[in-house]
Amino acid sequence: MQPTEASSLRGDLSLADLLSVAGVATEDVLLVRHTYSADGLTGPQDATVENVLTYTRIQSVRQSKIPRDPPAVWLNFVADGKRRSRFLVAYENRGEVLAERTEVKRYFDLHPSDVLVSLRNRLVIEWSNDTINWAKAGGKAAQMPVVEIADPARVPFPGFDNVLITHDELVAVVEDSRYAEWRTALAAVQGVYLVADTSSGELYVGKADGTERLLGRWSAYARDGHGGNVALRELAEVDVTHRRHFLFSILRVFGPTATTAEVDAAEAHYKRAFLTRQYGLNRN
């Protein structure tokens, strides 16, 4: 077969192509482009799933570029130099919370979504020329070329004493290839750990012993947010997203040959020290 003089075939990849592969219709999508600023997201350290949600859910009544009845999926990007826009996170929009509305602000019920989750912080697209228009209908995705899909960057293990992670980060530790060093370290030790509820200040002391090790125990929290603990399950029954308030850290580690009695004694010590039975989230 001889090639024609002018072929219509192109090898370009657009954001719309990625959405199509993911099974997401562009008409169900809103594209949002953030820029770092002193009165908003101040820098990369602020670009967490929780912070971006808190910032994005609040919109102006009169001057917002968000439509009156926005679609169900919000894809959030951040300026990454000129028109480059790096994908941060997707949210499911369950509608405006009318009870929170004021004369100048409206609030949306947003929840983290798994749409394009494997491309968080890796996907870079090129925004349209009018970057001042920071919110776009999903139909514009066809005009936004993909300029980069970066390899996942390895995240070095910081040492047991320096582990302090959110539930979202815990899920990444358990599932994401970037955290292979973390999984190796956590799978090697037994230990006593702390779960802090940042919404109330309450603490939970737990243990990982025997063959379960810290990785096995924390994998349960990654799956369901409560790990089978009574008080944490009660919080989940009230609000399944309450896990977003949890911070996980390690109080003490034991080698694989440590006895169950040693681990139990350390756990009991920290429960007494932190008063977690009287004022925290431990029920035994």
User: By three-state DSSP, how is residue 252 classified?
Assistant: strand
Question: 11 falls in which pLDDT band (50, 70, 90)?
Answer: low
Residue percentage of the chain with pLDDT more than 90: 80
Q: What is the pLDDT of residue 177?
A: 79
Residue 251 has pLDDT above 90, yes or no: yes
E strand map for the chain: 29-34, 58-60, 73-79, 84-96, 105-113, 123-126, 135-137, 146-149, 164-166, 190-197, 203-208, 246-254
What is each CA distance from 200 to 197, 224, 242, 279, in whole angstroms?
A: 6, 20, 11, 11
Evaluate if residue 4 carries a pLDDT over 50. no
Rounded mean pLDDT of 183-206?
Answer: 96
Say yes or no to pLDDT of 64 above 90.
no
Percent of the chain with pLDDT over 70: 96
pLDDT (tens digit, 9 = 90+) per residue, 12-35? 899 999 999 999 999 999 999 999
Give yes or no for a contact between 241 and 157, defined as CB atoms under 8 angstroms apart: no
The region of weakest confidence among 57-66, 105-114, 130-139, 242-251 is 57-66
Domain spanning 160-274, CATH class: alpha beta
Rounded Cα distance between 244 and 235, Å, is 11
pLDDT in tens, 76-93: 999 998 999 999 999 999
Residue of higher predicted confidence among 1 and 52:
52
Domain ranges of the chain: 15-149, 160-274
DSSP, collapsed to helix, strand or coil, labels residue 85 as strand
CA distance 222 to 121: 20
Mean pLDDT, rounded, of the chain: 92
CA distance 156 to 178: 8
- Tens-digit pLDDT profile for residues 149-186: 987 778 899 999 999 999 999 998 998 878 989 999 99
What is the per-residue pLDDT for 5?
47
* Nearest residue to 192 via CA among 259, 257, 263, 247: 263
Q: Is the pLDDT of residue 63 over 80?
A: no
pLDDT classification of 69: cutoffs 50, 70, 90: very high
